[in-house]
Amino acid sequence: MPTRNLSADMPSRMSIRLLVADDDDRVRSLIASLLRQVSGISSVLEAKDGTEAVQTGRDFRIHVTVLDLNMPHIDGVEAALRLKALRPSMRIALHSSDPESLRARAGGLGLALFDKVEVDRLLGWVEGHVRSLSTTKDGLGSRVTTLARRRDLSCSRCGYGIVSREPPERCPMCGTGAAWAEASQPASRVATL
């Protein structure tokens, strides 16, 4: 069995790639142009639907992905599951102009969920992940230590997922006093990822 070189999977300071998939050309272009301005990103690739997003994930080493929920051919949820199967370390966010449908279809999957009008929150999420990935292999030990202190959590009401040391008192998605649950075992549909 071949051994994996952990440092080969770690992005270097200038090699972080993002993928934006949305069937609306204007929304996709807007998000991609905003993400190109984030420090530490080497390239932002675009896909017009879920099928193209999965193919891009196969062809390129993608570190962070932003997917529209409703896309032709393969929707955002299915594309996210397939991309996670290809690269389990990939950070994936789903966004939609219908947050209720987003929570109903993707809640509990351990993915970050965003309303399309919350572009600032989405950019903040991406920036946080880019910062955590922007470590040279010399800094690997401190990065692992920092990540080990964080927990994957999801809101027990709506399924909104976060990675945090200290969860907020209120869920940013549904606004209720959240009962955060460990999201290390997402819904059975993704247990094999």
98-133: per-residue pLDDT in tens? Answer: 888 888 888 888 888 888 888 888 888 898 888 888
How does DSSP assign 83-140, residue by residue? HHHH-TT-EEEEEES-HHHHHHHHTTSS-EEEETT-HHHHHHHHHHHHHHH---GGGH
CATH number at residue 33: 3.40.50.2300
Residue 77 domain-assigned (yes or no): yes
Q: What is the pLDDT of residue 189?
A: 31
3-state SS class at 186: coil
Count how many domains the chain has.
1
Average pLDDT over residues 2-19: 54
Please indicate whether residue 77 or residue 10 has the higher confidence score (pLDDT): 77
Strand order in the sheet with 161-164: 161-164, 151-155, 180-182
Return the pLDDT at 113: 87
Question: CB neighbours (10 Å) of residue 156?
Answer: 15
- In residues, how long is the chain? 193
Tell me which residue range forms the domain holding 23.
Answer: 14-190
The model's pTM is 0.63
Q: Is residue 18 part of a domain?
A: yes
Q: What is the pLDDT of residues 131-160, one digit of tens each?
A: 888 753 334 444 444 444 556 677 777 777
Is residue 158, in this structure, part of any structural domain at all?
A: yes
Residue 129 has a pLDDT of 85
* Structural domain includes residue 137: yes
Residue with tokens 């964080």: 150
**Does the pLDDT of residue 1 top 60, yes or no?**
no
Q: Is residue 54 part of a domain?
A: yes
Classify residue 9: in a domain, yes or no.
Answer: no
| Per-residue pLDDT, 40 | 85
